[in-house]
């Protein structure tokens, strides 16, 4: 059984695919940071940022609309900013009553809200592109090189490795339940909600126990191969002049975006 639900890597060869993963991680983080720093209603800068993503998309060979299509997944999270509509003082645009409360949307609030949605939407697209063009282990290596604490990168890479194994485990549990969920003809099967909840609870407990025991076996396997408490890895990344050039170019673009966002 294979669970590939989490693998977002799209195999391919392109300028962006072959870029050093460190450059990709740095540029992505810088891009997200730069978005966060842009002032509200910096329309020109937002447009430039979007153009930046489109160019990256085009260079990656995945198609201009690639990240756009996948970006809607993150929009619900941007709704957390909805309070900005009402809480920023400004000229009222619209008022309504909801749950016996008066709400007034202000112009400044509206601008702030739209800007937040655009910023997060742009940032998410960049992150989507990063995982689509970089194999996950390489992202973790890049984080290692960028001096992210080893304990974090180790946790991330174990999580990634065993996410697949655990999903398979869950699938097996669900399948086993399915296979035994028989029903007598003409009767509604399944039992009461309480009973169902208990079954699910037991399954969650099973999963925890299985994972816990597995972690023991994995640790034994690590010990058996000489693990002494410090994880060692080897990542032969070659940093080439081209990588540096593209990275610098991207950073210059970001600076220009910031300047564009602050023009009067």
Partner 1 sequence: MTDVVSVRDLHFSYPDGHAALRGVSFSLCAGDKVALVGPNGAGKSTLMLQLNGILIGRGEIAIGDMRLTRDNLPVIRGMVGLVFQNPDDQLFSPTVFEDVAFGPLHMGLPEAEVFKRVDAALESVRMTSYRDRLSHHLSVGEKKRIAIATVLSMNPSVLILDEPSAGLDPRARRRLINLLRELPITMLVSTHDMKLVEELFPRTIVMDEGLIVADGVTKEILEDETFLNAHGLEKP
- 237 lies in the site for partner 1, by CB under 8 A: no
Interior/surface letters 114-137, b for 16+ CB within 10 angstroms, e for the rest: bbbbbbbbbbbbbbbbbbbbbebe
Q: Which is nearer to partner 1, 179 or 224 (CB)?
A: 224
User: Distance of alpha carbon 163 from its chain centroid, rounded?
Assistant: 15
Residue 3 burial by Cβ neighbours in a 10 Å radius (0-12, 13-18, 19+)? middle
Binding segment for partner 1 (CB under 8 A), chosen from 49-57, 157-165, 242-250, 252-260, is: 157-165
Q: Which residue has the tokens 């991207």?
A: 250
Quick note: the x/- pattern for partner 1 over 201-230, rule CB under 8 A, is: -------------x--xx-xxxxxxxxx--
CA–centroid distance for 45 within its chain: 23
| Spatial separation of the C-alpha atoms in residues 153 and 59, rounded to whole Å | 29
Number of residues that bind partner 1 (CB under 8 A): 28
Q: Measured from the CB atom, is 1 or 44 closer to partner 1?
A: 1
Contact with partner 1 (CB under 8 A): which of 50, 68, 86, 160?
Answer: 160
Residue 178, interface with partner 1 (CB under 8 A)?
no
Per the CB < 8 A criterion, the answer to whether 93 and 106 are in contact is yes
From the DSSP assignment, how many helices (H) and strands (E) are in the chain? 10, 2
Residues 17 to 76 in contact with partner 1, rule: CB under 8 A: none
26/165 with CB nearer partner 1: 165
Pick the closer one to partner 1 by CB: 50 or 162. Answer: 162
* Binding test (CB under 8 A) with partner 1, winner from 5, 99, 184, 232: 232
Other Cβ atoms within 10 Å of 157 Cβ, number:
19
Complex with partner 1: residue 69 or 172, whichever CB lies closer: 172
| Chain centroid, CA 104 distance in Å | 33
DSSP secondary structure letters along 76-131: HHHGGGGGHHHHS-S-EEEEEEETTEEEEEEHHHHHHHHHHHHHHHHHHHHHHHHH
State which of positions 137-156 bind partner 1 (CB under 8 A).
137, 140
Residue 144 structure tokens: 């290692």
Which of 3/258 has CB closer to partner 1?
Answer: 3
Q: How far is the CB of 185 from partner 1 (least distance, A)?
A: 37
Convert residues 78-117 into a mask of x (bound to partner 1 by CB under 8 A) and - (unbound): ----------------------------------------
Q: What angle do CA 89, 90, 95 make, to 5 degrees?
A: 95
Question: Nearer to partner 1 by C-beta: 6 or 208?
Answer: 6
Interface residues toward partner 1, by CB under 8 A:
2, 4, 135-137, 140, 157-158, 160-162, 164-165, 214, 217-218, 220-228, 232-234
């Amino acid at each position: 059984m294979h669970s590939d639900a989490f693998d977002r890597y799209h195999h391919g060869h392109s300028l962006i695919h072959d870029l050093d993963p460190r450059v990709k991680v740095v540029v992505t983080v810088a891009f997200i940071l730069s978005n966060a720093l842009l002032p509200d209603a910096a329309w020109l800068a937002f447009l430039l940022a979007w153009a930046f993503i489109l160019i990256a998309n085009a260079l990656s060979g995945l198609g201009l609309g690639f990240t756009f299509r996948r970006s809607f997944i993150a929009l619900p999270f941007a709704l957390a900013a909805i309070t900005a509509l009402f809480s920023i003082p400004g000229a009222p645009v619209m008022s309504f009553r909801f749950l016996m409360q008066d709400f007034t949307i202000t112009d400044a609030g509206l601008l702030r809200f739209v800007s937040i949605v655009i910023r997060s939407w742009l940032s998410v697209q960049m992150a989507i592109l990063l995982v689509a063009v970089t194999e996950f282990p390489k992202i973790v290596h890049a984080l290692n090189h960028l001096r992210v604490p080893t304990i974090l990168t180790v946790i991330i890479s174990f999580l990634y490795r065993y996410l697949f194994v655990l999903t398979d485990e869950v699938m097996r549990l669900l399948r086993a339940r399915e296979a035994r969920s028989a029903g007598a003809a003409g009767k509604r099967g399944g039992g009461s909600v309480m009973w169902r909840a208990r079954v699910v609870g037991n399954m969650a407990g099973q999963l925890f126990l299985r994972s816990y025991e597995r972690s023991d076996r994995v640790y034994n396997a690590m010990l058996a191969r000489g693990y002494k408490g410090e994880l060692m890895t080897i990542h032969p990344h070659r940093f080439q002049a081209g990588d540096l050039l593209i990275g610098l170019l991207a950073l210059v673009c970001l600076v220009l975006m910031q300047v564009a966002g602050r023009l009067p």
